[in-house]
């Protein structure tokens, strides 16, 4: 997502947005919805609820890929407790170039963090071609 704000990008021969859309209601078969979860995998509200209802997140699974969703736990403590899960996600995305990941504003809803607190955790993701970040994480 390191490009001009309104400029789309091409990945795997398909035009994709420069930044994660504010509202995602459907995905292409190769796309994944990345959302903030809790370790218990109780996806009852916010982006987690959308992941459960629309993109294959599984109750009881609070970390990793399920269906077309990837859970990153954000409810277990401070930002420092989230960093290892973000690093794991970035490594996973690099290992799966056949997938394209839309990262939502993880941690900025129910978990209560600010974009400026979460954005630095995703700095390494800015250079990964198959990860799309929210505009607020890219500035």
Please check whether residue 98 lies inside any domain of the structure.
yes
Give me the number of domains the chain comprises: 1
* Upper half-sphere CA count for residue 102 (Cβ side, 13 Å): 24
**What's the rounded Cα separation, in Å, for the pair 41 and 70?**
11
Please say whether the beta carbons of 99 and 65 come within 8 A: no
Task: Report the range of poorest mean pLDDT among 60-64, 83-87, 98-102, 109-113.
Answer: 109-113
* pLDDT at residue 118 is higher than 70: yes
Q: How far apart are CA 51 and CA 45, in angstroms?
A: 10
Instruction: Please indicate, yes or no, if residue 44 is contained in any of the structural domains.
Output: yes
Is residue 94 over pLDDT 70? yes
What's the pLDDT score for residue 1? 40
| Residues counted in the chain | 139
Does residue 21 form part of some domain?
Answer: no
The pTM score is 0.93
Q: What is the pLDDT of residue 8?
A: 83
Residue 73 · residue 67 · CB < 8 Å: no
CB 100 within 8 A of CB 130: yes
pLDDT in tens, 31-87: 999 999 999 999 999 999 999 999 999 999 999 999 999 999 999 999 999 999 999
Closest among 84, 87, 96, 89 to 130, alpha carbons compared:
96
Range of the structural domain that residue 51 is part of:
29-138
Is residue 13 domain-resident? no
Flag whether 1 is in a domain.
Answer: no
Q: CATH number of the domain that 46 lies in?
A: 3.40.220.10
Q: How many CB atoms lie within 10 A of CB 32?
A: 26
Question: Is there a domain that residue 126 lies in?
Answer: yes
């Amino acid at each position: 997502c390191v490009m001009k704000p309104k400029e789309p990008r091409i990945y795997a021969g398909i035009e994709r947005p420069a930044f994660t859309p504010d509202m995602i209601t459907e995905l292409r078969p190769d796309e994944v919805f990345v959302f903030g979860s809790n370790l218990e995998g109780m996806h009852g509200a916010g982006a987690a609820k959308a992941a459960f209802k629309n993109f294959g997140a599984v109750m009881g699974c609070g970390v990793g890929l399920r269906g077309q969703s990837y859970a990153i736990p954000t409810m277990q403590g401070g930002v420092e407790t989230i960093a290892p899960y973000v690093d794991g996600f970035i490594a996973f995305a690099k290992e799966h170039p056949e997938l394209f990941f839309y990262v939502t504003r993880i941690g900025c809803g129910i978990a209560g963090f600010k974009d400026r607190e979460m954005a630095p955790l995703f700095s390494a993701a800015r250079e990964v071609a198959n990860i799309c970040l929210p505009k607020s994480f890219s500035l």
